[in-house]
Amino acid sequence: MNTTASTEVHLEALQQAVNLAEIETLGRARLDQNALDYYVSGANDGHTLRANREDFARIRLRPRMLVDVSRVDTSTSVLGLPLGFPVGVAPSAFHGLAHPDAELATARAAAGLGSVMTLSTFSNTPIADVGQAAAGRFWFQLYLLGDRELSREIIARAGDSGARALVFTVDAPYLGRREANERHRFALPPHLSAPNVASRETLAGVETDTGSQLTNYFQNLVDKSFTWNDLDWLRAQTELPIILKGILTAEDAELAVQHGCHVWVSNHGGRQLDTAISAIGALPEIADAVAGRAEIYLDGGISRGTDVIKAVALGARAVFLGRPALWGLAAGGEDGVRRVLELLREEVRLALALSGKQNLGQVGPDLLRMETSPLHP
Ligand SMILES: Cc1cc2nc3c(=O)[nH]c(=O)nc-3n(C[C@H](O)[C@H](O)[C@H](O)COP(=O)(O)O)c2cc1C
């Protein structure tokens, strides 16, 4: 089959996919072992990775009946940016492993649907190019580097490129141990680079004889000593709102608010500390602690519209997709990411309607019943 024909077949399969799981199957089939290992892996035994999904399923909905749902409004806003539905794209490194259009495809899809994309520090595409493709609908995710001068430059570049917020990832002073990547020595293919942080030579020069190239590279690059006391330094570097990504406790949420930051509840898709609590499990105590003083977002395990409204009911303003966006990207570039977002948008609409809600403002804790667990009877 020639390339054009194969692309057409693929686009048809994308349009026929009825849910995110089917797009995952399409995406997986397009990836080599190196990329697939990198995308699917969780840390160690994958307990937290699984818990992110399982804990959504343990929450049951209490739908109300005989409500006029002839019109359902899925819109919201994040930091003043209107969203067509409460779903954005989480930062993930190296979109070039999934598709040649890499982060540009993701940015265009998100912007086209009135969503928002978070661009990783470790993108394969320079910030400025993604900024253009995103048409104002992007946040920049920062890994703070040991080299403060370079960090400062990156932050400035993000602002100049139109990023609307700085998402500072706080759960990764070290990378969690993704054992498949260690075993198979995950490496970035030679045609890809990480232009925001390093020249191609620097990355290619990282030795891969032992373990994952990314881990070896990351270890030397990222600042492991940064604490709450240093947040003032970060604050002084940018006028952008700062969101702390990777918060899992009420204590840290309180500190985040005291430091003037917004809160992104996440365990990095189960890729950092294995057996850490699930994102949705962490949300209630965080929403209590924040008490409306800052915006709250969540990622980890979202695969259904009902997951989205459960997170909103527990206090999240929007949720973000990590792997599902990557599966869409692998399955069909911009079209694939668009299909993922469209499917989820329509699932959110239907979930609201069948719950007897006309808009997200009507979604609160009364929509939920938590299944009991031995730990939390
Ligand atoms: C392949 C991959 C790469 C990631 N890269 C980053 C990154 O560069 N920066 C970051 O803050 N989080 C990164 N994450 C974590 C995501 O932002 C997000 O927290 C997680 O994927 C959400 O879980 P989900 O995949 O179940 O949606 C990455 C996740 C994956 C799967």
Dihedral sign for Cα atoms in the order 127, 122, 224, 278: positive
- How much is the pLDDT for 183? 87
Clarify whether 191 is annotated catalytic. Answer: no
CA distance 264 to 320: 9
- How much is the pLDDT for 249? 98
Nearest-atom index, ligand 1, CA of 324 = 27
CB-based contacts of 24: which residues, under 8 Å, 6+ apart?
323, 324, 327
Calculate Rg over the CA atoms of the chain.
20
Which residue stretches of the chain have pLDDT < 70?
1-6, 8-9, 199-210, 372-377
Domains, the chain, ordered by start: 6-67+75-360 (3.20.20.70)
- How much is the pLDDT for 5? 62
- How much is the pLDDT for 201? 45
Residue 239 corresponds to which tokens in the numbers above?
């006028």
- How much is the pLDDT for 1? 46
- How much is the pLDDT for 149? 95
- How much is the pLDDT for 12? 92
pTM over 0.85: yes
Amino acid letter at 217? Y
> How far, CA to CA in Å, does 203 sit from each of 128, 193, 208, 217, 371?
21, 7, 11, 7, 47
CA distance 326 to 334: 11
Largest CA distance in the chain: 64
108 lines ligand 1 (CB under 6 A): no
303 lines ligand 1 (CB under 6 A): no
Extended beta strands in 69-201, E state: 76-78, 81-83, 87-89, 117-119, 138-142, 166-169
178 lines ligand 1 (CB under 6 A): no
Cα 299 to ligand 1 centre (Å):
9
Tens of pLDDT, residues 62-118: 999 999 999 999 999 999 999 999 999 999 999 999 999 999 999 999 999 999 999
Tell me which residue of 99, 15, 70 sits closest to 342, measured CA to CA. Answer: 15
Tell me which residue of 104, 194, 210, 181 sits closest to 202, measured CA to CA. Answer: 194
- How much is the pLDDT for 200? 44
The enclosing H or E element of 340 equals helix 323-354
